[in-house]
Amino acid sequence: MTEAVSVKKLTHFINGELVEGKSRSYSKVYNPSTGEVIAEVPIATAEETREAIAAAKAAFPAWRDLSVAKRAEVLMRFRYLITENMDQLLDTICTESGKTLEDARGEVTRALESVDLAIGAPHLVKGEYSVNVGGQINAYSAKYPLGVVAAISPFNFPIMVPLAQTSMAIAVGNAVILKASEKVPMTSLFVSELWKKAGLPDGIWTVVNGSKDAVNELLENPTVQAISFVGSTPVAKYIYETGAKYGKRVTALGGGKNNMVVMPDADLEQVANAFIGAAYGAASQRCMAISTIVPVGEETADRLVAILKDKISKLKVGSYTEEGTDFGPVISKESKESILKAIDLAEQQGATVVNDGREVDIVKNSEGFFVGPTLLDNVTKEMDICDQEVFGPARNVVRVGSLSEAIDFINDQELANGVTIFTNDGAAARKFTTEIDVGMVGVNVPIPIPVGYHNFAGFKGSRFGEGHMFGPDQARFFTKTKTVSERWPGTTETTASTFAFPSND
Ligand code: NAD
């Protein structure tokens, strides 16, 4: 792996300023397409994280007290700045994540949906009001911000996930601390400057770079009221359990192992195109990527695998700077090695290698972290690759005899983020959407990722806690409902003390 000539030293973003790390501990940031080190990101200590939390706490009351409409104005300016700075933003995302330009553009579009939803926060935080609930008393329930809240993000969506986790939190009046992924910190720092230019007061948006120490401080510090986590399942579970132990509101979204069921009546040419995009796009590094195709019936499976084999052999893996690249590298050398190992193991355990991504030239000859598109047929429940999330382009075919068998196979799995069915049969689709125990379901839609104004979350091992990412639920998650009962002197006659439980008699 080559070290670039000038390696940029990155910072945190605390109290409205880019701030150097004090720890002297740095983590390397790579360009996954070349294997070069392009930057070093500071790893925050618990003490630095505490200082950032204190600055956020001090900034919170003034932001809370600003009208929702004024807060929304800042978000509108922020949205405009994202579109104004699109080229630089896309370049930053592609360089540190390895995504293709087209994919990064799609991600930014999705990030903007979260900002759009947050601009509508005034509507989402409207309360409830009842008059004369008893003895000239009026009662209202209103949503108040929580205070300082934290978001911890994964590497695979450098802008979409952080903004999905934070835009609404800011709009409803909280001060947010983002612990960005140490693998893609440059995008969050770039976004920090846009928030500043948009007029967001210092301390309301903070980026603390780092890893475990910073995260543990966010989990344990009593000032932090809520944690929104997105990442792998083992870490999500840890975050949920630890956050709950320290009395915090936590939503922790984990990994996915998403299935695409193909009924015999589906148009297999169309299915193959849908599968390839959903399965291999972004080098399969999406929590909603299709991992496994589940054809119903041997004939469907044989025909589908033949079509897939031909199409997959024509995919182009390369850098985002190369014309015609279908997908880029995976995020790191370690990730590449673990994906190649998973393919080796699946083969040893009896899977049939239909397309072998280990044998693609760029995989063997480049310093970049490339893995070619791999399709494994005859995968069964006994194989490790069947239910473990492989965050890279090794995809499975699991053959089943009936729709019921497909549903049982999927419902037995621990990860339950997304799923889809391809069919022209309404009854089959209805049975599937009713019986399937998965959070986000598609019918003839390859990646059923909800749009920004619908709630997003999986079930079982794909989500710990009750909140959603995206959607109106964000406004609920980042606010607390206070109920006020009020009576004004002079509207009623003075009454003597009463010791009975308050009632409206
Ligand atoms: P990760 O779990 O390794 O890291 C996520 C975040 O947690 C990072 O900020 C990281 O620094 C931090 N972290 C890692 N280990 C930690 C530890 N032991 N203690 C405290 N903090 C820790 O995930 P990743 O590799 O960055 O991202 C890929 C994963 O995220 C995949 O599993 C993918 O499916 C999942 N993901 C899920 C969704 C969803 O909506 N469900 C969306 C995107 C990604």
255 lines ligand 1 (CB under 6 A): yes
Q: Whose CA is nearest to atom 17 of ligand 1?
A: 212
Report residue 416 CA to chain centroid gap: 15
230 lines ligand 1 (CB under 6 A): yes
Model confidence band, residue 317 (pLDDT cutoffs 50, 70, 90): very high
For residues 16-43, average pLDDT: 96
Strand-strand pairing, 175-179 and 148-152? parallel
235 lines ligand 1 (CB under 6 A): yes
Q: How far is the CA of 296 from the centre of ligand 1 (A)?
A: 33
On average, the pLDDT of the chain sits at 95
Distance CA 146, CA 151 (A): 14
287 lines ligand 1 (CB under 6 A): yes
For ligand 1, pick from 30, 49, 153, 155 the residue to mutate: most ligand atoms within 8 Å of CB: 155
Evaluate if residue 504 carries a pLDDT over 90. Answer: no
Distance CA 286, CA 418 (A): 11
How does pLDDT run across 398-414, given as a tens digit for each residue?
Answer: 999 999 999 999 999 99
Q: Whose CA is nearest to atom 20 of ligand 1?
A: 212
CA 11 to each of CA 180, 184, 346, 369: distance values in angstroms, whole numbers, following the listed order: 12, 13, 42, 26
The token pair at 443 is 């019918």
How does pLDDT run across 332-358, given as a tens digit for each residue?
Answer: 999 999 999 999 999 999 999 999 999
Catalytic residue list = 287
- Domains annotated on the chain, with CATH: 8-254+462-483 (3.40.605.10), 258-443 (3.40.309.10)
Model confidence band, residue 251 (pLDDT cutoffs 50, 70, 90): very high
Q: Which residue has the tokens 């194989």?
A: 383
Q: How far is the CA of 185 from the centre of ligand 1 (A)?
A: 14
For residues 484-497, average pLDDT: 78
Model confidence band, residue 492 (pLDDT cutoffs 50, 70, 90): low
Q: How far is the CA of 420 from the centre of ligand 1 (A)?
A: 24
Identify the bridge partners of residue 42 per DSSP, sorted by sequence position. Answer: 26
For ligand 1, pick from 235, 447, 454, 463 the residue to mutate: most ligand atoms within 8 Å of CB: 235
Contacts (Cβ under 8 Å, ≥6 apart) of 427: none
Evaluate if residue 450 carries a pLDDT over 70. Answer: yes
Q: Which has the minimum average pLDDT: 192-206, 237-251, 489-503? A: 489-503
Atom of ligand 1 nearest to the CA of 233: 32
Q: How far is the CA of 135 from the centre of ligand 1 (A)?
A: 53
Distance CA 124, CA 158 (A): 26
378 lines ligand 1 (CB under 6 A): no
Evaluate if residue 110 carries a pLDDT over 70. Answer: yes
251 lines ligand 1 (CB under 6 A): no
Q: How far is the CA of 164 from the centre of ligand 1 (A)?
A: 15
> What is the percent of the chain where pLDDT is above 90?
91
181 lines ligand 1 (CB under 6 A): yes
For residues 139-153, average pLDDT: 97
373 lines ligand 1 (CB under 6 A): no
440 lines ligand 1 (CB under 6 A): no
> What is the percent of the chain where pLDDT is above 70?
98
Contacts (Cβ under 8 Å, ≥6 apart) of 237: 252, 254, 461, 464
For ligand 1, pick from 153, 217, 232 the residue to mutate: most ligand atoms within 8 Å of CB: 232
Distance CA 165, CA 227 (A): 9
Q: Whose CA is nearest to atom 36 of ligand 1?
A: 231
232 lines ligand 1 (CB under 6 A): yes
For residues 259-277, average pLDDT: 98
Model confidence band, residue 491 (pLDDT cutoffs 50, 70, 90): low
For ligand 1, pick from 43, 230, 286 the residue to mutate: most ligand atoms within 8 Å of CB: 230
Strand-strand pairing, 137-145 and 148-152? unpaired
Model confidence band, residue 111 (pLDDT cutoffs 50, 70, 90): very high
156 lines ligand 1 (CB under 6 A): yes
